[in-house]
Structure 1
Amino acid sequence: MDSQLSPTLLDDDLCEVNCVHPEAVQAARAALPDTGQVGEASALLKVVADPTRLRLLSALKTCELCVCDLAAVIGLSESAVSHQLRLLRAHRLVTFRKEGRVAYYRLLDQHVSGLIVSALDHVRE
């Protein structure tokens, strides 16, 4: 038990009686994703949790942007943006296309857009 937490707060979080609801436990266990999916989803959320990457994803939610545009939008060097974009691409959050010597990035799909919208909507409530 963490001595930093107040006993009142801990007591409020506990059941006052020990009662297990077998049907609810069974349903919850059946709904759990497998360990591999949990690991991949956790890694994905860790990538999105970085403020710089979340800002990049938010910018890309509006439209396709080149690395130079993204650097101007969030106020970082093109090199720093490119580094973050490589990581986002490795985690299948963004994709890109080349037009001559310019790389244009966009969100990979609607799932990524939904993830960003949901997270930001949640904190606004």
Structure 2
Amino acid sequence: MDADKQMCGLDPDSPFVELAVEVFGLLADATRVRIILALRGSGEVSVNHLADIVDKSPAAVSQHLAKLRMARIVSTRQEGQRVFYRLENEHASQLVSDAIFQAEHSIAQGQPPAHHHQERERA
């Protein structure tokens, strides 16, 4: 009977808490955050193009992408010798966006941060 009962991942005693901590650890790198920001809304991007965007060598970007791929944050498609990367789903993108927004709050000094201005303009 308990097999039909699924635990909410947002419960404090969820088995996903430790995995979430691993995701935070993986994202605790500026190059990986920049890669995720570069992949947002871009569809598929080659390693060389990502390297240009984040201003790192293709070899360094490939190493970061390998870690993101092992964590299933990005996925790949190969076309001949070229490999294209894309975000696996919207969650890593949202997590990075929320972290950036929190950082904006940290330096806003009592003023509404930039993302609040953007929200008002869209309304």
Same fold (TM over 0.5): yes
Cα RMSD for the two superposed structures: 1.6
Q: Deviation of residue 77 (structure 1)?
A: 1.1
Closer, same or farther in 2 for the Cα pair 1:92/1:33, shift >3 Å?
farther
What is the TM-score normalised by the length of structure 1?
A: 0.70
Bigger fraction of residues in helix: 1
Query: What letter is aligned with 1:46?
Result: G
User: Which sections of structure 1, spanning at least 5 residues, go unmatched?
Assistant: 1-29
What is the TM-score normalised by the length of structure 2?
A: 0.71
Find 2:93's aligned residue among 113, 120, 123: 113
Matched residue pairs, number?
Answer: 95
Q: Deviation of residue 109 (structure 1)?
A: 0.3
Query: What letter is aligned with 1:56?
Result: I
Select the structure of larger CA radius of gyration. 1
Residue 21 (structure 1) aligns with: none
- Percent identity, aligned pairs only, is 34
1:59 aligns with 2:38: yes
Cα distance in 2 between the residues matched to 1:100 and 1:81: 19
Residue 58 (structure 2) aligns with: 78
Q: Deviation of residue 31 (structure 1)?
A: 3.2
Query: What letter is aligned with 1:88?
Result: L
Cα distance in 2 between the residues matched to 1:50 and 1:43: 13
Cα distance in 2 between the residues matched to 1:31 and 1:87: 27
User: Which sections of structure 2, spanning at least 5 residues, go unmatched?
Assistant: 1-9, 106-123
- Following TM superposition, where does structure 1 have runs of at least 4 consecutive aligned residues deviating by more than 2 angstroms? none
Residue 68 (structure 2) aligns with: 88
- Deviation sequence 1:16-71 (CA, Å, 0-9, x none): xxxxxxxxxxxxxx93133x412111011110111111111111113121000011
